[in-house]
Structure 1
Amino acid sequence: MTCKTILAILQSEADTPRLLDFALPLTARHQGHLIGLHAEALPIAVATPLGGAMVDLTEEMRAEAEDRHARLRALFMERTQAEGIAAEWRGYDNVSGDSAISGIESARTADLVIAQQNDPDADARMTADVEALVFESGRPVLLVPYTFKGRSAPFKRVILAWNGSKEAARAAFDALPFMQEAGSVEVLMVDPQDFPHQDTGLAGSAIATALARHGIDVTTRTEISGDLSHGEVIINRLADTGADLLVMGAYGRSRVSEFIFGGTTRTLLQSMTAPTLMAR
């Protein structure tokens, strides 16, 4: 299995080189086609206290947006051509100026979406609604930590956060290309529960067996959270193992309740320590 159509969400000039350092080698490994996508906010005419529109300011904002489009497109095409990657550019102008939201439609016809985790210290204009991309696109989203440095390489050790949900199942099989190139995969369960057809002692064994049939070296591990959240347990396990990819379903009672009460998905989005593939 390979990822032939890959969509890269490029929200800002500052983050684009980092994201391309990750996306280009991955695309090359899969002999894929890379789509670069960026959106700019449409300038909105505002009125002066005297009631006249500030036309000069609006035109200045429009010119700046066009310049950013041009610079990002030039950088993207230069990098892809230099590395021999088949590529195309998609630029959008809309009210939000959010490249992640603008990329949802394009994401639905891609094998994989790559986006950057938002830097909590960045200006709001430099961030994208990656949660909407994960929850609404219907495609696997590979999130790159904003602290990522260097070029991506084949993953060596993968952790699959498994709870038996449909979201976790989708993430697991969407991540097969990366699990197959990895040296090992650990199926991690946190506080597994007994079910009529399976007790906690066998939790994760079925998905581990299914992955092993793809030639993957799989182990299982169970953790008890105690006073920690599930997200914190997963982050600790990533640190303990040195895993370079986390695979998990983006799940929760609802996006609204996760916003209010927190949740594993939100914890990982905010405290990402390794590239993370999420699927919904």
Structure 2
Amino acid sequence: MALRSILAIYSGDAAGSGGLGLAVHMARKYDAFLTGIVWRGPSPLEQRFQRYMSKEIVDMLAARDAEVVSEVRDSFLARIEAENLQDRAKFIEIRDGGEFSMPACVRGYDIAVIGNRAAAVGREHFATRPDVIALRSGRPVVIAPPHLDLANIGTRALVAWDGKRSSARALGDALHILATKEHVTVLSVGTALPAVPGDDVVTLLGRHGISATQVVRPAGSGGIAQTILEACHEVGAGLLIMGAYEHSKFTEDLLGGVTREILDTATIPVLMSH
């Protein structure tokens, strides 16, 4: 899938700037249109105390949120102007409880890009969880670590492959990106490759003109997530491709899991699909 339309989910704070920087980089690299978006839900005060608030207080909170949205828009447009992308970028806003949710909005784009920690203290109601977008939108999401150094992305990528539906979806969603890489490592964590009929993933990538190598490793003492991230470092991968939530999100939120651990600890961009 060629990337022609990118959605940058942005809340304007420094921790989310890595996501915006990566989105701008991708818009240039793939000659894509870039849409910036900010989402806002009810503030923590509104959620807890709205029924006790006077109209004046509610209006004051709404005015403050409107100021934040204006700041986010100005920050996004300033970056777009600095990058000379005014002719192929725009900015939009959606609100919680409106006609569209963020996952529904993402479906109108080829891919979404977001910072891993996308809202500062006091702006929590402007935050969008990247794993929820990956789980519910049906589109791939690239999650950037805070303060991403684009120089470290490099020309290598790693695909975490377990042979299941989510990893297959992520691989398919990432083919256009992988085609720009010099080499791709396909990592399976376990004792042997998943047994499947027909051709393997390396053969598939090769038919797309993508140089790839299959690697199988046992899970280390740090678990599957740490094994994947260590392999990324060892092969010099600047991008990780993986499926999101092969097990239920509830189970991973409650007990922990690979998706949650990767999101919490990855220091390189991660493309997730479900």
Shift in Å, 1:17: 3.6
Q: Percent identity?
A: 26
Q: CA RMSD in A?
A: 2.7
| Aligned partners of 1:42 and 1:62 also within 8 Å | no
Q: 1:196 to 1:124 in 2, by over 3 A?
A: same
Q: Which residue of 2 aligns with 1:250?
A: 244
Instruction: List gaps (5 residues or longer) in structure 2.
Output: none
Runs of 4+ in 1 over 6 A off after TM superposition: none
Shift in Å, 1:102: 3.9
Matched, 1:93 2:124: no
Shift in Å, 1:260: 2.2
Deviates more, 1:167-176 or 1:33-42: 33-42
User: 1:114-129 maps to which residues of 2 (within 5 A)?
Assistant: 114-118=113-117, 125=124, 127-129=127-129
User: 1:31-180 maps to which residues of 2 (within 5 A)?
Assistant: 31-42=31-42, 44=46, 46=50, 53-85=53-85, 86-94=88-96, 102-118=101-117, 125=124, 127-149=127-149, 151=150, 155-180=154-179
SS of the counterpart of 1:175? helix
- Larger Rg belongs to: 1
Structure with a larger share of its residues in helix = 2
Shift in Å, 1:57: 2.7
Deviates more, 1:121-130 or 1:231-240: 121-130
Q: TM-score, normalised by structure 2?
A: 0.86
* Counterpart-to-counterpart distance in 2, 1:89 and 1:5: 13
Q: 1:124 to 1:91 in 2, by over 3 A?
A: closer
Shift in Å, 1:154: 6.5
Shift in Å, 1:129: 1.8
Name which structure has the greater RCO, CA cutoff 8 Å, separation 6+: 2
Deviates more, 1:225-234 or 1:237-246: 225-234
CA distances 1:76-103 after superposition (whole Å, capped 9, x unpaired): 223223423311211123369xxxx942
Q: TM-score, normalised by structure 1?
A: 0.84
Q: Which residue of 2 aligns with 1:269?
A: 263
| Aligned partners of 2:40 and 2:96 also within 8 Å | yes
CA distances 1:110-149 after superposition (whole Å, capped 9, x unpaired): 1111011127995671643222111001000000012423
* Counterpart-to-counterpart distance in 1, 2:110 and 2:152: 19
Q: 1:12 to 1:29 in 2, by over 3 A?
A: same
Instruction: List gaps (5 residues or longer) in structure 1.
Output: none
| Aligned partners of 1:26 and 1:152 also within 8 Å | no
| Aligned partners of 1:9 and 1:103 also within 8 Å | no
Q: 1:67 to 1:241 in 2, by over 3 A?
A: same
